[in-house]
Amino acid sequence: MKIATFNINGIKARAEALLAWLDAAQPDVALLQEIKSVDESFPVELFADRGFNVETHGQKGFNGVAVLSKLPLEDVVRGLPGDDGDEQARWIEATVVGKTAVRLCGLYLPNGNPAPGPKYDYKLAWMARMATRAKSLLETEMPVVLGGDYNIIPQSEDAASPETWVDDALFRPESRAAFRRIVNLGYTEAFRAREPRPGHYSFWDYQAGAWQRNNGIRIDHFLLSPQAADLMTDVQIDKKVRAGVKPSDHVPVWVALDA
């Protein structure tokens, strides 16, 4: 089972690029972030024509997450538990059924800038809620995959120029500590489990020639429960997608499970 995460930065702007990548990469499941579309406006037919089941949790103009799956999806849940007043569309769950049933969570974690401030407080509160949900998912003892745009640079090795991110919400000590608390519940950070070396990124800003200078950061991650980690056979970053026509500022990351 090949599961990908991809912040597409707008389905309307990126539909052709997304379809080209789907055709080339052939994931079984794609977790999308920043669809920037209400559910009713999401172009479901483009993906249904390619054999994907589609579930969305959208929001007009901002945020929004989706799951595309060539395998059946069950028990779809929209929204991160713990705050009934949170209207931001950043979390979607579903069980995908291959050889093994896997619980998938697609997430778009808040950016949090400027920090400190209300947006940063929201980021940390959201991460605390995520930790609570991540702990409860572990208690199911099924393979669980938490994939998406975390807006977290976990370590200095995950930024080409870490010194420029010191005061940013993505790299502040409180953000990284909140990320570690989730990992330390018992999750495996898939990419780092396979590739300990620096120089691997999933985001390059559109400004200041970041892509051309490879001035990137790694903020798109998969966290795997022990049952999912035992099934992992590969994990990769599709860096070349950033050089395509009208690219997102993110590239796909994918993990393969024997499931």
Residues in CB range of 237: below 8 A, 6 or more apart: 191, 200, 201, 202, 218, 251, 252, 253
Does 149 qualify as catalytic in the annotation?
A: yes
Taking only the tens place, the pLDDT of each residue in 185-198 is 999 999 999 999 99
Cα separation, 96 vs 41, in Å, equals 24
Q: Indicate which residue of 28, 108, 201, 220 is catalytic.
A: 108
- Select which of 149, 158, 168, 220 is catalytic: 149
Question: What's the pLDDT at 13?
Answer: 96
Closest CA to 125 of 86, 77, 180: 86
Angle between helices 173-183 and 118-138 (to 10 degrees): 10
Closest CA to 65 of 88, 41, 87, 34: 34
Q: Which two tokens stand for residue 204?
A: 């390059």
Domains, the chain, ordered by start: 2-257 (3.60.10.10)
Q: How many helices (H) and strands (E) does the chain have?
A: 6, 12
pLDDT tens figures, 155-185: 999 999 999 999 999 999 999 999 999 999 9
Q: What is the mean pLDDT of the chain?
A: 97
Active site residue 201: no
DSSP state of 101: E
How many Å apart are CA 182 and CA 173, to the nearest integer? 14
User: What's the pLDDT at 209?
Assistant: 95
Q: Which of 78, 104, 73 is nearest to 91 (CA)?
A: 78
Query: How far is residue 26's CA from residue 23's CA, in Å, rounded to a whole number?
Result: 6
**In degrees rounded to 5, what are phi and psi of residue 122?**
-65, -40
pLDDT above 70 coverage of the chain, percent: 100
What percent of the chain shows pLDDT beyond 90?
100
On the CB side of 198, CA atoms within 13 Å amount to: 14
